[in-house]
Amino acid sequence: MRQFSTPSLPLFALMLFAGPCSCLAEDWARFRGANGQGISTESNLPLFWNAVEGEPEKNIAWKVKLTTSGWSSPIVVGDSVFVTGTTEEGKKCHVIRVRCSDGRVLWDKEVHTQETFKMRRANSHATPTPVSDGKRLYAVFFDGTAVAMDFKGEVLWKNADFDFYSLHGLGASPVLAGDLLIMPFDGSSREENTLGWKEPWDQAALVAWDCSSGELRWVGQRESSRVGHVTPILIENGKRVVSAGGDRVQAFDTATGERIWSVYSQ
């Protein structure tokens, strides 16, 4: 399994596979890989590594110290590793591209300035893992803003139409379904902080943007549910997207956002 973690500041990107051909392998272009199950088709991968200061390093090809803070997992597309992060206490949002073969930072772009608000300290301002279709890179940040970029680091579009708030922050990651970027927003009420957290709330939603234009295509409404931090999965060859809140699992039509079924679990 090709899996990465991203600690908070100081941020390190770790190349876990020593050897000259390790980057010319299967892409890992979204959270938990191609099907969202954390499964890779690669073989002969190292099961152990060590990067503890003062101890011999094992299976580490390189490491690089970044200047941003965040919890998003890196993704791998070809010979590039992409990760998000923030500076200035979460206000300045960055996307970073690192060359997989040698750890060189190819670019570090500030793509958005967001308004921060109080959240649980167990979260970060750049937690959602980015996703790529091999041509573009898509990232969602703490305030609910979605950003699309090309591989040169140019911002293609930015959309902040969905008004998101959660006292826990944002924890899920976006997925791609055809020409749509889909993201769950299981938030909570600004006025009554128990709503959406301790008590079910009916304002959570699943949001889809057009990958080319950034236009908001549809908003799929949940029934009452509590906050969840679950990244959606696709089923039926991408015709349905399954998304879980804190106490509810639902399927939506990826073309229209229509809710197909809903299961409540207490």
> Tens digit of pLDDT for each residue in 219-233?
999 888 898 899 999
Burial of 8 per CB tally in 10 Å (0-12, 13-18, 19+): middle
Backbone angles phi, psi at 238, to 5 degrees: 85, 5
Asked if pLDDT for residue 20 goes beyond 60, the answer is: no
Determine if the pTM surpasses 0.95.
Answer: no
Q: Among 11-25, 42-56, 225-239, which stretch is predicted with the lowest mean pLDDT?
A: 11-25
Average pLDDT on 61-72 reads: 91
Please say if the pLDDT value at position 13 is more than 50: no
pLDDT band at 51 (very low <50, low <70, confident <90, very high): low
Distance CA 11, CA 71 (A): 9
Which residues lie closer than 8 Å to 256 by C-beta, 6 or more apart?
A: 218
Nearest-angstrom CA–CA distance, 154 and 187: 30
The residues near 230 (Cβ < 8 Å, ≥ 6 apart) are: 172, 184, 186, 243, 244, 245
DSSP class of 53: T
